[in-house]
Structure 1
């Protein structure tokens, strides 16, 4: 376990695999889930065992990293953090990989910092009205209601899904003072700005990312199609992203068609996790990575 300060906050991270010989991969999961959430580490270790160096990290507002609130959206903030890490640790250019919210973070990173990216691999992409509005409810709407009624003390006491603000304070005591120092007024201001990213817009296939910026991506990109009945990561959205990224390849899921639904049921029953199916994709992802030893000019 290592720490690094990026943009005024401490980030917890690990580098797995050999320092030389393979490619450098960055893995970004979704939700407010940490690098130690079930399914993330085994997936990273499998890629590292193939000879690659793999970065796993607690994004700001996940795990044991510091809470940070700035930027156009939470994904833009996390992309800036990842860029700072890649530069400070001299890792780039990298193969950027992410699922669910991590797919959005990875796409924003690739758009904003193209010089740091060799390849892009994304799956379980959120998009469309239902899943975007659902995320607004999970990440910002309750926060806005709470901070307006109860101030920062209400945010500090807020409980809920993994990654709630109280969980983040419990995992990292520094976070209490960081929220207090930020204050209710600034916290609410950031939440309203981040909320705007989730408002569905005709020119945004994924939340907070205008389509014309998606078209700027030139690196080889692998997109895993959304599941047939997955309302959180719609099949339609994966087709839209494929249409916008001209050097992308769209593939059927390397896991069962209903893997997301099964994963949710297994998580709720305590018998599995939502990221467990990622292991099924390791051979497919390794094959795609092996196709490109260096970045190919557009």
Structure 2
């Protein structure tokens, strides 16, 4: 475990693998920590395959700090990744991520294309209903709690329990917010997930995609996946100048099935527990 200050926030991270190996950043989804079941296991496989793997807790995830000054949570996270890569002196990085991690990888790469060697992405969130679900998941319960019980109620939400257990500063940061200002921020952050016919990924424009001329491995989403629609993954593939679209190493119902898995860190269970299945395809392509 290591910590570093980036953009005024203390971020928690770990580097695994040969220090001289090419750097690779692995970013999970949701508000899950870097040690969530499946993430370090995939990281270990990639490290064994010849990479120096950076596992990190995004702002508001795991043991890292959070702030509410960015225009959206995704912008906060992608700018944190850009700053982390700079602070650690990484060059020609490979960015790998799923779900929210895919969005952050794309947004970060658009801000530092000269530093990114390759990208691999899967479970790209999208579609009108899928994105509306993200707005509620990330912001709706926050607004409801703040409107009913102020910041004490927000700090007591289950969505902050893991972060507060790992980093007591999170509770202090939350309690320091003005409830009305916090609600306004959550409204803006929720709006940032709004579906648009102009781009498959909120926070990315067609010009942003055009800047990503490095090779990208895009895993096609399952037809049954309503959170990360197949149409979204195919649209992203079309917008990227140098994308290879491939089928993932699991069946069509994967997301629906893993969404029912228990979150059980002690027994290494959770939504990402099957991510290590990606390792052979990732290493072959990378």
Range of TM-score over shorter length: over 0.9
1:271, CA displacement in angstroms?
A: 8.6
Distance 1:268 1:143 in 2: 21
Map residues 177-216 of structure 1 onto 2, 5 A cutoff: 177-216=172-211
Distance 1:108 1:102 in 2: 10
Cα deviation 1:147-178 (Å, max 9, x = unaligned): 2232211111112xxxx123322221111221
Alpha-carbon contact 2:25-2:95 (below 8 Å) kept:
yes
1:112 maps to 111
Alpha-carbon contact 1:255-1:278 (below 8 Å) kept:
no
Distance 2:27 2:156 in 1: 27
1:40 lines up with 2:35 in the alignment: no
1:219 maps to 214
1:128 maps to 127
1:275 maps to 272
1:11 maps to 11
Instruction: Check 1:255–1:81 CA distance in 2 against 1; reply closer, same or farther (3 A cut).
Output: same
**C-alpha RMSD of the superposition:** 1.7
Instruction: Check 1:135–1:93 CA distance in 2 against 1; reply closer, same or farther (3 A cut).
Output: same
Distance 1:211 1:132 in 2: 18
3-state SS of the aligned residue for 1:150? helix
Task: Tell me which moved more, 69-78 or 52-61.
Answer: 69-78
Alpha-carbon contact 1:196-1:208 (below 8 Å) kept:
no
Distance 1:240 1:173 in 2: 41
Instruction: Check 1:266–1:181 CA distance in 2 against 1; reply closer, same or farther (3 A cut).
Output: closer
1:220, CA displacement in angstroms?
A: 0.8
1:180, CA displacement in angstroms?
A: 2.5
Instruction: Check 1:182–1:92 CA distance in 2 against 1; reply closer, same or farther (3 A cut).
Output: farther
Task: Tell me which moved more, 26-35 or 226-235.
Answer: 226-235
State which of 216, 234, 240 in structure 1 corresponds to 2:235: 240
1:257, CA displacement in angstroms?
A: 2.6
Instruction: Check 1:271–1:29 CA distance in 2 against 1; reply closer, same or farther (3 A cut).
Output: closer
Alpha-carbon contact 2:220-2:247 (below 8 Å) kept:
yes
Alpha-carbon contact 2:263-2:271 (below 8 Å) kept:
no
Q: What TM-score comes out, normalization by structure 1 length?
A: 0.90
1:142 lines up with 2:141 in the alignment: yes
Instruction: Give 5+ residue unaligned stretches, structure 1.
Output: 290-298
Distance 1:16 1:256 in 2: 30
State which of 249, 253, 261 in structure 2 corresponds to 1:258: 253
Q: What TM-score comes out, normalization by structure 2 length?
A: 0.94
Instruction: Check 1:273–1:170 CA distance in 2 against 1; reply closer, same or farther (3 A cut).
Output: closer
Instruction: Check 1:268–1:129 CA distance in 2 against 1; reply closer, same or farther (3 A cut).
Output: same
Distance 1:28 1:58 in 2: 8
Task: Tell me which moved more, 48-57 or 180-189.
Answer: 180-189
Alpha-carbon contact 2:29-2:100 (below 8 Å) kept:
yes
Distance 2:200 2:66 in 1: 28
Map residues 23-34 of structure 1 onto 2, 5 A cutoff: 23-34=22-33
